Structure 1
Amino acid sequence: MTRIAVIDIGKTNAKLALVEGETLAEIAVVTRPNRPLPGPPWSHVDLDGHWDFFLHHLSAFHAAHGVDAISVTTHGAAAVLLDDAGQVAVPMLDYEHPGPGDLAAEYDALRPDFAQTGSPRLPGGLNLGAQLHWLLHSQPDLAARIAHVVTYPQYWGWRLTGEMASDVSSLGCHTDLWDPWQGRFSELADRLELAGKLAPARRANEVLGHLRPDLAAGTGLRPGTPVAVGIHDSNASLYPYVLGRQRAFSVVSTGTWVIAMAMGGDRMPLDPARDVLVNVNALGQPVPSARFMGGREFELVRNGSDARPTDADRAAVLSRGLMLLPAVEPGSGPFQGRAMRWTGDAADEAARMVALSWYLALMTDTCLRLIGARGPAIIEGPFGRNPDYCTMLATLRPEGVQIAASATGTSAGAALLCMDNGAAPDTRPVTPDPALAGYAADWAAVVEGG
């Protein structure tokens, strides 16, 4: 058996998972919160805290089970700036820090058009290029101190192997720095005077290098343990299906962000104003995508509730027509700028949870429609365990909805980068409920009416 340790960093949690390569089953998992550290100089990622956590548990995983290879997947809109000695030149900016918004007008004059990059203009630091622009202007001596810019998965690869790279899926995640049609850096790299400093782009499934001897000695792992280049997390969810499916399909990666990605769908004009973009998969192929901050919205609205709805609760929400309308997080998604509102008062927490889950499914369907998705929609991640979300989405998607067997597709997809051969994970179909169709039509009519 091949056992792969996966460093998996989402916006909310950092995780180390041990995955069996042949089955993609998770053997062991440990997590820690991915809480940004406060300034000075700005809100930043706890790189050293994560590093100590990963090394400790790599050692424990190897002692208990054995580790044959290491892979990495992280959230997008993130990079680390290194100096000549390979040390962090400035703390890694949290992409939700408001600083880049202060220079929005200046950055807008620099960034390439959507037609070149497939990257919409996003608020704050959600465009990596905007982060880099703000950092360079807020730290006048920084340009002279930067020797290398590495995308986030490859920062961990650098620390593990001493080899530098970027990966095409992270560069293709609304950075403004990548031309997905030509497979090369965009004009922005030159405009920021970073063209010679951005680490070379590699495919995610290549071997970046091998575990440094000192780390092998410290963790007990075998010297020469291979480390994959690594991948953007939503593309990690997509990767097993890119390898294992030939016909049209879509993957809905759920976490802090809900990201819908279409393979082989209808050609559609993509509207950047609705948070539609072009991602780049592990093989370097452009992937029409749309997204909203569904996991964040879920946590905000449920407000800690663990209510478990019954059929009576669902019937009550249907009969009353209780709806949640977009947008809970108005800064992103297909209904940016709108204010969330309820069409009535929820009778209790269970009713609120039903309407919330249906809202998230209706938002997901909107995203899938915006990118011309065809074929089955495969739900990856925690929303696959929400029956109300899954049933509503299945009702809306005539070509079917399937749930991935793995509780988190990112770790499985990242592990597959280390395997010579792999099949798509097992899925199971979701049964639609025709009784929900009228509710969905009413929601769409209200939303389209503004």
Structure 2
Amino acid sequence: MTEVTHTGTIVVIDIGKTNAKLVALDAASGMEIETLRRGNAPVASGLYPHCDVDGLWTFILDGLKSLHARHGIGAIAITTHGATAALLAGDALAMPVLDYEHTGPEETAADYDAIRPDFVETLSPRLPAGLNLGAQIFWQATAFPEAFAGVTAIIPYPQYWAFRLTGRIVSERTSLGCHTDLWNPVKACYSSLVDHMNWQDLLPEPGATTDTLSPLRPEIAAATGLPEVTPVSCGIHDSNASLVPYLSHQETPLTVVSSGTWTIAMTLGGTTGRLDPARDSLANVDALGRPVPTARFMGGREYTLIAGANAPQPTSADAIAVIETGIMALPSWVEGTGPFPNGKGGWHGNADALTPSQRAAAASLYLALMTCETLTLAGQGSDIVIEGPLAQNTVYCSTLAALTGVPVRPSRDATGTAKGAAMLLTGLGRGTALPDPVTPFDHPQIGAYARDWRARAR
């Protein structure tokens, strides 16, 4: 594996929990050239709900072929959601790639809790369903012992797609450091759980996140028209990809809020001392292998539950109407996650009186208030950069600026995660200028609204 700087067109395979994309970027400028998209719903049939790797693979191959024909692909980068791994038996899957929202791992929770390492070792909190990768693997080994006996390698999800493209079995730290229970982020090595379960021989020694793999499998080159020598990044956890453009930023602490299905606050240069394992806070590991204090909640999912599908974009006038009526959404709309994991989401006040756009404003205010809570755990930087869909939500960004008192800078780049993944192939030395800040939301009742919300949330 090597670290090389690449030029030309880079295509990023970006597999999120809800959507998958192929993003063609110009390596020199980072500008988007073309993006292909598809939904990414799990498959309900079979042993258990699992990732649709067959559908995604068809999408990837067809997309690589068409993008190469139009733009010429010089390299391929990979980024995916976390809490997911592939269990290989030789060149095939030993069993389906488990959907982390499946509750099967809770069947063996008591036995798993008896052996999982303490938070002080892994900085990984105990999470529900399959959000701890170690709990997933433990359940799969217990529930399907014959299939597990055939496992020859366990690799994180980004590296699974690198394996499909190149045949190389590798691992890397950002995926291992994503609340897996498998990694010690301070010592930068596998945790005691791996030794306890005798999984040492199944988990590859992690390389650098900047490593590239080649050549492509001959059949992949033939199917896509790409040269076999096309470099492929070893892959990165998607939230960490959002951090990559800011790794060389010298003025820290700096908070990056990555948004999508999850809203994840990560503070570069922050301390892990305020992390609380009972409130969905943890240490991620950045592309340089350093622990990054992190706190999160399922913001994208909760926004849809609160505002409804296809909600209109809210305005400041909508937010003012919500604040002045005192109507508020209270946590947590996805139970068991976020800074209020024991809360049962609901409304204070008459939500039926809200128009669709006011309801969207209430959801935006909720997300801003929840983000403030995550910052009490992950630490608040002297600047806050918003990546992903929430960067387009002016009510959210302006409210967050008013409540935190620091510049909130929405990224105008809709492909921030993809750009970060691509930068692993173009070099980490290039700093990215911080986006311009928004004007803070100005309303005399915003502070009282926030205090009331916090009191009710607690």
What's 1:410 paired with? Answer: 417
What's 1:443 paired with? Answer: 453
**What does 1:205-354 align with in structure 2 at a 5 Å threshold?**
205-265=210-270, 268-346=273-351, 347=353, 348-354=355-361
Amino acid at match of 1:424: T
Alignment partners' CA distance in 2, 1:425 and 1:20: 18
- Deviation per residue, 1:66-101 (Å, 9 max, x gap): 1100010000001001113x2111111111111000
- Secondary structure of 1:375's counterpart equals coil
- Deviation per residue, 1:219-249 (Å, 9 max, x gap): 1112201111110000000111013444320
Q: Is this contact kept in 1: 2:12–2:78, CA < 8 A? A: yes
What's 1:21 paired with? Answer: 27
Alignment partners' CA distance in 2, 1:310 and 1:79: 41
Amino acid at match of 1:24: G
What's 1:125 paired with? Answer: 130
Alignment partners' CA distance in 1, 2:54 and 2:250: 39
What's 1:54 paired with? Answer: 60
Q: 1:159 to 1:312 in 2, by over 3 A?
A: closer
What's 2:382 paired with? Answer: 375
- TM-score, normalised with respect to structure 2: 0.94
- Deviation per residue, 1:392-443 (Å, 9 max, x gap): 1111222211011211321111011110353326512111023133322332
Q: 1:244 to 1:63 in 2, by over 3 A?
A: farther
**What does 1:146-185 align with in structure 2 at a 5 Å threshold?**
146-185=151-190
Q: Is this contact kept in 1: 2:159–2:235, CA < 8 A? A: yes
Question: Alpha carbon RMSD of aligned pairs, Å?
Answer: 1.5
Which stretch of the first structure deviates more once superposed, 425-434 or 170-179? 425-434
- Secondary structure of 2:145's counterpart equals coil
Alignment partners' CA distance in 2, 1:307 and 1:9: 26
Q: How far 1:305 moved relative to its partner?
A: 4.2
Q: How far 1:315 moved relative to its partner?
A: 2.6
**What does 1:27-42 align with in structure 2 at a 5 Å threshold?**
27-42=33-48
Which stretch of the first structure deviates more once superposed, 356-365 or 366-375? 366-375
Equivalent position to 1:429, from 437, 440, 443: 437
Amino acid at match of 2:52: D
Q: How far 1:370 moved relative to its partner?
A: 1.3
Q: 1:141 to 1:427 in 2, by over 3 A?
A: same
Are residue 69 (structure 1) and residue 75 (structure 2) matched? yes
- Secondary structure of 1:417's counterpart equals helix
Q: 1:313 to 1:434 in 2, by over 3 A?
A: closer
- Deviation per residue, 1:100-155 (Å, 9 max, x gap): 00110000011100000010000111000000000001112134201111110001
Alignment partners' CA distance in 2, 1:130 and 1:30: 34
Q: How far 1:211 moved relative to its partner?
A: 1.8
- Secondary structure of 2:436's counterpart equals strand
Q: Is this contact kept in 1: 2:296–2:374, CA < 8 A? A: yes
**Residue identity (%):** 48
Amino acid at match of 1:413: G
Q: Is this contact kept in 1: 2:256–2:384, CA < 8 A? A: yes
Amino acid at match of 2:23: A
What's 1:3 paired with? Answer: 9
Q: 1:217 to 1:246 in 2, by over 3 A?
A: farther
Are residue 358 (structure 1) and residue 365 (structure 2) matched? yes
Alignment partners' CA distance in 1, 2:306 and 2:295: 22
- Secondary structure of 1:402's counterpart equals strand
**What does 1:386-401 align with in structure 2 at a 5 Å threshold?**
386-401=393-408
Q: 1:27 to 1:303 in 2, by over 3 A?
A: same
Alignment partners' CA distance in 2, 1:33 and 1:425: 32
Q: Is this contact kept in 2: 1:405–1:426, CA < 8 A? A: no
Q: 1:246 to 1:213 in 2, by over 3 A?
A: farther
Q: 1:300 to 1:78 in 2, by over 3 A?
A: same
- Deviation per residue, 1:307-342 (Å, 9 max, x gap): 343444333212211111111112100001111121
Alignment partners' CA distance in 1, 2:99 and 2:15: 13
Alignment partners' CA distance in 1, 2:198 and 2:439: 53
Q: Is this contact kept in 2: 1:7–1:54, CA < 8 A? A: yes
Q: How far 1:389 moved relative to its partner?
A: 0.6
Are residue 44 (structure 1) and residue 50 (structure 2) matched? yes
- Deviation per residue, 1:267-292 (Å, 9 max, x gap): 63321000010100011000010000
Alignment partners' CA distance in 2, 1:401 and 1:321: 25
Q: 1:158 to 1:437 in 2, by over 3 A?
A: same
Q: Is this contact kept in 2: 1:8–1:72, CA < 8 A? A: yes
Q: Is this contact kept in 2: 1:35–1:46, CA < 8 A? A: yes
- Secondary structure of 2:82's counterpart equals coil
Segments of 5+ residues of structure 1 without an aligned counterpart are none
- Deviation per residue, 1:137-195 (Å, 9 max, x gap): 11121342011111100011011111111110000000000000111000111222211
Aligned residues: 447
- Secondary structure of 1:365's counterpart equals helix
Moved over 6 A (4+): none
Are residue 203 (structure 1) and residue 220 (structure 2) matched? no
